[in-house]
Chain A
Amino acid sequence: MVNITIDEKQLEVAEGTTVLEAARAAGIEIPTLCDHPHLTPYGGCRLCLVEVEGARTLQPSCTMPASNNMVVHTDTQKTRDARKFILTMIFSERNHFCPYCQVSGGDCELQNAAYHEGMTHWSLQPNWKPYPVDASHPFFIQENNRCILCRRCVRACGELVGNFTLGFEERGANSTLVADLGVPLGESSCIGCGTCVQVCPTGALIDRWSAYQGRETEVDCTETICVGCSIGCGIKVLTRDNRLVRIEGNWDASLNEGVICDIGRFHPLIEDRERVQTPLVRKGGSLKAATWDEALDVITTQFKNQKHNQLAGYVSSRLPVEAINVFTQLFAGLGASAYCLEVDLPAEYSSRLADEIKAPFEAKLSSLQTSDCIFVLGEDLTKDHQVVSFFAKRTIPNGTKLITLDNKDNGFDNFAVISLKPKIGTEIDVLRALVSSLKAGKSTFGDVEKVSGLSIDVIESSLSILREAKKPVIVFGKSDSQFITDDFVKILYDLAKQINASLINVKGGANSLAAAQLGLVKSLNTKDIQTGFIVLGDDKPTQQLIKSLEKIPFLIMQSSYISPLTAAAQVVLPAQNWLEQEGHYLSLEGRVQQAYKSLQAEESVRSNFEILNELASKLGIKVNNTWEEQITKRISPVAIELIAD
C-alpha cells in the first residue's frame, strides 16, 4: 500500500494504482478523454494533467502510478489553464462542428469537457482541411473530422475484441484512424461488433441508425440480456416512444463486460421482417384475420381430433424458459412428442454425457481469460457465439496458442497456430489418435496420417502444444459439417481429462441448455405428423427447417414474423418478440438470467408464455411454472447458478 495526498485528502491505495484511479475512488473528479475504465491507460489526450509536488511539469494522472508520500493537486489555476489549452488544441486539430453533430448536447465527451472548463469559444480556428468520411461499412460510419486521436477504438478493437483491425497511420496531426493497412472499413477485416462505436468519445464513429433519435438523457434504457445465442451477454436497450434506438453492451455485466457482437448490437436494428399483427385462420384457402378465441378454438378442436402420435410440437430455444417449460408440459399432457427447433444437437450431447458421468463437467467461460492454449473443434466462433471468440482472441497477444479442428474454412484459422483440416468423416480418428498418444505417453498415431490426410508433423505439433499447455481450454459446439456426435463429445471429455483442460460447449440458441435439460433437443421428426404446432417466436427459420416443417399438413404457427412457414399454416398466432416479452434464460455456462421487456407490444400480440398457458387451460391441461425445478431435474453438464434478481 502507498500513501498519497490528493487535493488535501489523505488516501491509502494499493501499489500500482494510478493517480486517476485513486482520485476517482476518493470521489475526486479529474476530466479525461482518452481514458476508459475497460481499456489500458494510454496518456494520449493529456486532459487529466495534474500538479504533482516536486515534479517539474504537469503529469497525466491516468498513467502516473501513485507513489508513497506523493502530493497531488487536481484543480489549480495551472491545471485549469492547461486543460483549456489542451482542449483548444484538440478542437483545432480537426473540424468539430457542434451545431450539426448528432452527439452534441450531452452525448459528446469532448463537448462536455469543454463545457466543464467553461470554454465559450475557440481561440484557435479549426483545421479547415477536410478529412475523409468512410461510409463503406454496413453498420457504422467513420467521420475523421470529429476524431480526437484518442485511440480508444484501437485499444477496444485489440484489447477487448482481439481483432486488431483498427490502427493509426501517419504522425502528429496527420495521424489517421485506418482499418487494416488503410482499406475502407467495409472491406476490412472488421467484424462489425461496434465496440469501437461504443467507446468513441465524440461522433467520429457513429452507428447508422441512432442519430437524432434522442440523446442519452432523452431515451429510456433497459438493462437486459441478448438472446442472439446461448452466451447471454448483458446489454442496454435504448428506446424512445416505444421505438428501438440503439443497443449497447452493458459495461457492468460481469459476463461480457461491455462487449457484444454485431448480432446483438446491430442485427435487431436491421430487422425488416413483417410482423404478424393479429391471429389468422385459414378460411376458404386463404388466411383471414380472426379473434384470439376463434384461433385458439380451431387449435383445441384440431388437437382433440388428432391422434396423439400424429401430433407434435416444436419450440424455438430463443424463447424464455417459462414458455418452453409450459410448452413441454402442454405436449406431455397431450401425450404428443415435443421437440426443440435446434437442428444441431451439441447441447443434448453434453446433457447425455452429464447423465452418464452423473456430474457437471463443463467449465465457465472465464477459464478462457487465463488459458494458454485453446483448442476449438467444429464451431466457427467468428460466426456463432462471437463473444466467446473475443475472449479467446484477446488472449493471443499474451502467447495463448490456438488450434482449430474443422474440415471447412473456419474464421479462427487466421488466428490459429495450427488449423487441422482432416478429410470429412475422419475428425474423430484424429481426436482418437491424440487421446491415445496422450494416454500412452508417446505418439501412437497408427494409420491416421493416411486416413485423415493430415501430416504426422502437424498432428505431432498439436499434440505437443496440448501436452505442454498449463491451462488448456477445449471449445466445441455445433458444426456445419456435423462431425460433433455423442461419441465425439465423449472422446473430447477423455482428452480434457488427459491434459487437465477446461471443456466448454457453446451449444446453440439462447435457451438451448434449458431445452436440453427439458429433454426437447433431439433429432427433428416430422414423419407421419399430421398436425404440427410450431412455437417459433421471433426466431428466423432456416431453409432446412422450412423444408422439413412445411410438409406437415396442418401447421399451426406461433410467430412474431411472417415467414414461408406462416404462409403455409392453417392458424397463425401473433407472438411478442424478445424485446416485448420477459422471462429467464439458462446460458451455456449455466447462468440463469432474466430478460426484461423494453418495448410494449401491440395489444393483439401476446407473449409466448401467455399464449401457451391459455391454450393449456382451454385444453384442460394443468401446467405449472416451476421451471427452476424442471431444468434442474436432470444433471446439467455445467453447474446451474440461479442468480437472484
Chain B
Amino acid sequence: MGKPKVASDWLAGCSGCHMSLLDIDERIVDLVKLVDLRATPITDLKHPDESGVDVGILEGGINNSTNEAVAKMMRKRCKILVSLGDCAVFGGVPAMRNFFTLEESLRRAYVETESTDSEGKIPSDPELCKPQRVQAVHEVVPVDIFVPGCPPDADIIYYVLSELAQGRIPDMTKKNLMWN
C-alpha cells in the first residue's frame, strides 16, 4: 500500500486552522514521510484528485454556494472527511450572522460599513457565488471525524493526522477534545 493521500481546503473560516497545522513545526517532515499531501490551499494542486484521496480535511463552515460545492466535491473524492476547527464543526464566528437575515448582513457589509461611500451596493453579478445561511460542514455533507477547537491545538492536529496516516481512527476524547 502506498502512502495515504491527503487533501484539504478552507471554506468560511480565517485559515487559522491551517496555520495551526503548520504549527506542528518540524514534525511536518515526519508527516510528509507518512502521507502524500495532495491539493491544499498551501500547495500547488487546487482540487482533490479526481481518482480520489484517502483523507479530506475541511476548515471553515459553509456560507455560500461555492463553499457548498467545494464541500460536496471533497466528500465525493475522499474516503474519510475531517471537519477541522470550530467553524467547520459548529459554524464558528461566521455563523454569528445567522442571527440576522442575509439581506441585513449584506447591507451591513457592503453599504453601511464606515468605509463605504454613497456608491456602495450589494454585489449581484451572476458569476458570483450566492451567500447563504452559515452551516457546519456536517449539515451539508456527512463528516467522519470532528476536530473542534479555535483553532485546534497543533498537537491535536498532529495526533489526528498521524493516526489517520497510520490507518487508525483518532480518539477525539479527553485531552483531544477542546472546543475553545
Contact = CB atoms under 8 A, between A and B. Distances in A.
Contacts of B145: 120
B23 to A, nearest CB: 17
Contacts of B99: 95, 128, 130
Interface stretch (A98-106, A166-174, A177-185, A295-303): A98-106
Most buried by A among B98, B138, B173, B179: B179
A95 B91 CA distance: 12
A99 B177 contact: no
Interface in A83-104: 95, 97-101, 104
B93 A121 contact: no
Contact of B98 (A115, A123, A128): A128
B136 A121 contact: yes
Interface stretch (B62-70, B73-81, B82-90): B82-90
A118 interface: yes
A115 B177 contact: yes
Nearest to A122: B90
Contacts of A126: 91
A220 B96 CA distance: 34
B139 interface: yes
| Majority DSSP secondary structure for residues of A touching B | loop
A111 B90 contact: no
Given A128-B99, A130-B99, A98 B86 contact: yes
Interface residues of B, number: 27
Given A120-B148, A121-B83, A99 B93 contact: yes
Nearest to B146: A120
A104 B93 contact: no
Interface string A124-164: 01101010000000000000000000000000000000000
Interface in B146-170: 146-148, 150
A128 B101 CA distance: 11
B180 A98 contact: yes
Most buried by B among A95, A105, A120: A120
A99 B88 CA distance: 13
A408 to B, nearest CB: 48
Interface residues on A, range: 20 to 34
Nearest to A125: B139
Nearest to B135: A125
B134 to A, nearest CB: 10
Contacts of A98: 86, 90, 150, 179-180
A304 B68 CA distance: 88
A155 B138 CA distance: 38
B139 A120 contact: no
B59 to A, nearest CB: 14
A104 B177 CA distance: 13
Contacts of B83: 121
A125 B89 contact: no
A126 B95 CA distance: 10
A121 B90 contact: yes
A122 B98 CA distance: 16
A125 B90 CA distance: 8
B31 interface: no
B139 A121 contact: no
B92 interface: yes
B172 interface: yes
A104 B178 CA distance: 9
Contacts of B139: 125
Contacts of A119: 177
B177 A121 contact: no
Contacts of B136: 121-122, 125
A99 B86 contact: yes
B100 to A, nearest CB: 9
A81 to B, nearest CB: 16
A6 B91 CA distance: 40
A123 B139 CA distance: 8
B93 A120 contact: no
Most buried by A among B83, B91, B150, B177: B177
A535 B11 CA distance: 65
Nearest to A120: B146
Given A99-B93, A99-B150, A118 B179 contact: no
Nearest to B96: A97
A215 to B, nearest CB: 10
A130 B99 CA distance: 6
A26 B47 CA distance: 57
A413 B136 CA distance: 55
B173 A118 contact: yes
Nearest to B86: A99
Contacts of B89: 120-121
Given A122-B90, A130-B99, A99 B180 contact: yes
A172 to B, nearest CB: 21
Interface string B98-135: 11000000000000000000000000000000000001
A632 B166 CA distance: 75
Contacts of A122: 90, 136
A195 to B, nearest CB: 27
Contacts of A123: 138
A120 B150 contact: no
Most buried by B among A97, A104, A105, A115: A97
Contact of A99 (B92, B143, B146): B92
Contacts of B173: 115, 118
A250 to B, nearest CB: 28
Contacts of B150: 98-99
A128 B147 CA distance: 23
A119 B135 CA distance: 18
A104 B179 contact: yes
A105 B180 contact: yes
Contacts of A115: 173-174, 177, 179
B90 to A, nearest CB: 7
A115 B179 CA distance: 9
A98 B145 CA distance: 19
A115 B175 CA distance: 9
Contacts of B138: 121, 123
B86 to A, nearest CB: 5
Nearest to B99: A130
A545 B73 CA distance: 78
A111 B93 contact: no
Contact of B93 (A100, A105, A128): A100
Query: Which are the 6 A-B pairs with shortest beta-carbon distances?
Result: A120-B146, A99-B150, A104-B180, A98-B179, A121-B146, A118-B173
Given A98-B180, A111-B180, 11 more contacts: A97-B90, A98-B90, A99-B150, A99-B180, A105-B180, A118-B173, A120-B145, A121-B143, A125-B135, A125-B139, A128-B98
20 contacts: A95-B99, A97-B90, A98-B150, A98-B179, A99-B93, A104-B180, A105-B178, A111-B179, A114-B179, A115-B173, A115-B179, A118-B173, A120-B148, A121-B90, A121-B138, A121-B148, A125-B135, A125-B136, A125-B139, A126-B91
Interface of A: 95, 97-101, 104-105, 111, 114-115, 118-123, 125-126, 128, 130
Interface of B: 83, 86, 89-93, 96, 98-99, 135-136, 138-139, 143, 145-148, 150, 172-174, 177-180
